[in-house]
Structure 1
Amino acid sequence: MRIGVLDVGSNSAHLMVVDISVGEPPRPVTAVKRPTRLAEAIDARGAVGGGAVCRLVGSVGEAACAATDQGVEELIAFATSAVRDAANQDEIVARVAAATGVRLGFLSGRDEARLTFLAARAWYGWSAGRLLLVDIGGGSLEIAHGDAQEPALALSLPLGAGRLTREQLPGDPPSRKHVRRLRRRVYEELSKAAAEVAPGLDGGLPVRPVATSKTFTQLARLTGAPKRKAGPYAPRVLELERLREQIPVLASRTAARRAKLRGVSRPRAAQILAGAIVAEALMTTLKISRVDICPWAIREGLVARRLQAMSDPAAADDETARLTQAVPAPRPAGRPALRAVPQLGG
C-alpha cells in the first residue's frame, strides 16, 4: 500500500510518501516540502495572519496534488501546535478543506510524544533498551521514556522554539536581559517536568537519550555532526558542553548572521537561539551529557502505527484513524512545481 503523511508544522508543510507492506520496512518513495512560516505570522491574539493562511492553503494544495500524482491510496494529514493552538484554528481548517479537499486533523501534544517515541523505537530497535526521547518543535517540547514500544511516560510542554522566540525574545539580536529571562523561565518549567520524568529514569538500568526534530539536528550540525549528505546512518550526536559554547555565539548574532553558521537554515535562524536554550536546559536538568540524533520522528511514527494496524487490526487506534482520509480529487487550478527533498530516514 502507498500512503502519504502530510505534516503541517510551524515552518513547512512536509509530505512523505512511502510504500508499506506487512513484514517489510517502509520504503520511501518521495517527499515534498513547502514553506508555511506560520510561527512568524501569529499575532498578539494568537491568530495566524491572512497571508500565512493563504500560503498554508497553497502548500497543502501542492501536497495534495503530489499525493495524487504519486498514486497515494491513503493520506494521513495533521497540523501541529501552530495551527492546533491558533485562535483562528477553525477558520484555517475550513479554508484548507474548502480550497484543497484536505481535512487537517490534530494530535494532542501527548500523542505527538507517543508517536515520536514509537518512531525512535522503530529506528533503534529493542537492543537500545530504555529510551529517553526529546523533541523540540515550533510550538512545544515533547518528552517520553520507556523500555517498550509505547512510552511509560509522555509529556508535552509549551516550550517550542518558535513560540518562545515570539513571546520572549524581541529584538534581532535580543538583549541580554531577554535572553536571561528566557533561560530562567525555561529552567523553571523544566525543573517541574524533571520531577515527573526523573523517577522513571532511576533503577540502575541504562537509558539511551535520543533527540528528534530539525532544531536538534541543526544544533548537532552546528556543533560538528556530519552533514545531511552523509546519509541517515551516519552517527550524529549533540554534546552538552559543545552546545553551551554556541549559545553566546547565537545570542550575539542577528538571524541573518546565524543563517551563515554551519547547519543553521535561514527559515530557522530566528528561532535557533531559543531552541538551543531549551536543549541546554533540558539536558542539564535531566543530567544528560549527550543525545543521539534520531532521523525518524512523528511522520515515521504514524507510518509505524499504520503498519501495526495492517498486521494486527487490534493495534489500530483512534489517533491515526481520525487523521486518515482518501486523497482528494485534483483541483483544476494550476499549481507551481514541487521541490523534492532528500530523505533523511528510511
Structure 2
Amino acid sequence: MRLGVIDVGSNTVNLLVVDAHVGAHPLPAFSHKIELRLAENLTPDGNVSPDTAARLEGFVQECLGVAEDQGVEDLMAFATSAIRDAPNGDDVIAGVAEATGLGLQVLEGTDEARMTYLAVRRWFGWSSGRLLVVDIGGGSLEISTGLDEEPDVALSLPLGAGRLHRDHLRGDPPSAEQVAALRKHIRAQLARELRPVLRSGRPNRHVGTSKTLRSLARIAGAAPSDEGPFVPRALSRTDASDIVARLRTMTVAERSTLPGVSSTRAPQLLAGALVAEAAMDLLSIESLEICPWAMREGLILRRLDHLEG
C-alpha cells in the first residue's frame, strides 16, 4: 500500500509518499515540498504570520491533490516545533483544518526524538548496540539514546538552527561577538540538560540525522545525495570545528556555493554548525554516522507496526 506523511517542519513542509508493506522497508516513491522557513520567518511576538499561514493552507491543499494522484491510501499529517511553540499555533492548525479538512497532529519534542530514534534503530539494526542519536532541526535539537526501539532518554531543546540564527545572529556575516555569544548560549543550555544522556551508558554507535548534519558532512567531503542512501557518510568532530571556523567569516552568498548547501539553508548553517560542534564536544563524540532516515520514516514505521497489529 502507499502511505503518505505531510511533515510541517520548521524549515520545510514535505509530503513524502512511500510504498510500504509489513516486513519490508518503506520505499520512497514521491516527494513534494516547499521551504516555508517557519522558524526564521515568525512575527516579532513569535506568531506565524497571516501570509505564512495562508501559504501553509494552500500547500497542504496542494499536497492532498498530489497524494490522491499518487494513490495514497493512508495519509498522516504532523507539525513540529515551529507550530508547537508559536502562540497562535492552535489558530494555524484550525485554519488548515477549515481550509483543507485535514487535521494536523502536533508532535511534542520528545515524540520527535522518539520517532527519529526508531528510524535510526531500524536503519542500523540490533547489532549496533546502544545508539546515541543527534538530530538538528530548524526549531529544535533532539538527542536520544537507548538499546531498544524505545529510547531510554529522549530530549528536545530549543536549539534549532533556524531559531538560533533568527534570535542571535545579525549581519552578513555576523560579528565575532555575536558568534561567541551564541556559542556560549548553546553550550550552557546543552550542559544543563545532558546529564541523563551521559548517565545512560556508553554508546556503541553515534548517529546524526537532519538536513543540517547532512550538509555539514557534505562540506567535509561526504558523498553527494545522488550516490544513494547506502553510501556511508560521516561528520567528525574535527571537521565540525573546521567548518565553524570557515563559516563564521563567510557571507550567506558564499555559504550557498558550498557543496550540499542550498540558498535557503545557507543563512542558518553557521548556527547549525555551532550546535553540532557543541553536541559532539559535550557528548565526547569523535564522529557522527549520518543516517538517511529520520522522523518522517519513524512515523511511517510506527504506522506500519499498528497496521500489522
Q: Give the TM-score range, shorter chain.
A: over 0.9
CA drift of 1:60 comes to 1.3
Within the alignment, does 1:271 sit opposite 2:268 as a pair? yes
CA contact (8 A) 1:238 1:293 kept: yes
CA contact (8 A) 1:37 1:52 kept: no
- SS of the aligned residue for 2:293 comes to coil
Which letter maps to 2:119?
Answer: A
1:24-52 deviations in whole A, cap 9, x for unaligned?
22232211112212223212211112222
1:285-327 deviations in whole A, cap 9, x for unaligned?
0000100000000010011101111222xxxxxxxxxxxxxxx
* Residues 264-343 of structure 1 aligned to structure 2 (within 5 Å): 264-312=261-309
- SS of the aligned residue for 1:41 comes to coil
Within the alignment, does 1:233 sit opposite 2:199 as a pair? no
1:113-169 deviations in whole A, cap 9, x for unaligned?
001000001111111111101100111100000111111111101101111111111
CA contact (8 A) 1:18 1:26 kept: yes
Instruction: Select between 135-144 and 163-172 the one with higher mean Cα deviation.
Output: 163-172
**What is the aligned counterpart of 1:217 among 214, 217, 226?**
214
Aligned to 1:108: 108
Runs of 4+ in 1 over 3 A off after TM superposition: none
Distance of 1:83 and 1:302 partners within structure 2: 18
Instruction: Select between 249-258 and 277-286 the one with higher mean Cα deviation.
Output: 249-258
CA drift of 1:170 comes to 1.8
CA drift of 1:229 comes to 0.7
Which letter maps to 2:85?
Answer: D
Aligned to 1:54: 54
* Residues 132-171 of structure 1 aligned to structure 2 (within 5 Å): 132-171=132-171
1:175-225 deviations in whole A, cap 9, x for unaligned?
1111000000111111122222101124xxx52000100010001001111
CA contact (8 A) 1:36 1:59 kept: no
- SS of the aligned residue for 2:296 comes to helix
Aligned to 2:20: 20
CA contact (8 A) 1:136 1:142 kept: yes
Aligned to 1:247: 244
Name the TM-score, length of structure 1 as normaliser: 0.87
Which letter maps to 1:233?
Answer: F
- SS of the aligned residue for 1:278 comes to helix
Distance of 1:228 and 1:25 partners within structure 2: 19
Aligned to 1:335: none
CA drift of 1:281 comes to 0.3
Sequence identity, in percent? Answer: 51
CA contact (8 A) 2:187 2:278 kept: yes
Aligned to 2:174: 174
Distance of 1:242 and 1:27 partners within structure 2: 32
* Residues 61-100 of structure 1 aligned to structure 2 (within 5 Å): 61-100=61-100
Unaligned 5+ runs, structure 2 = none
Which letter maps to 1:122?
Answer: R
Distance of 2:36 and 2:61 partners within structure 1: 12
Distance of 1:34 and 1:138 partners within structure 2: 14
Distance of 2:183 and 2:40 partners within structure 1: 21
CA drift of 1:110 comes to 0.3
- SS of the aligned residue for 1:33 comes to strand
| RMSD (Å) for aligned C-alpha atoms | 1.2
Within the alignment, does 1:8 sit opposite 2:8 as a pair? yes
- SS of the aligned residue for 1:244 comes to helix
Instruction: Select between 116-125 and 100-109 the one with higher mean Cα deviation.
Output: 100-109
- SS of the aligned residue for 1:219 comes to helix
Name the TM-score, length of structure 2 as normaliser: 0.97
Distance of 1:264 and 1:201 partners within structure 2: 35
Distance of 1:37 and 1:50 partners within structure 2: 14
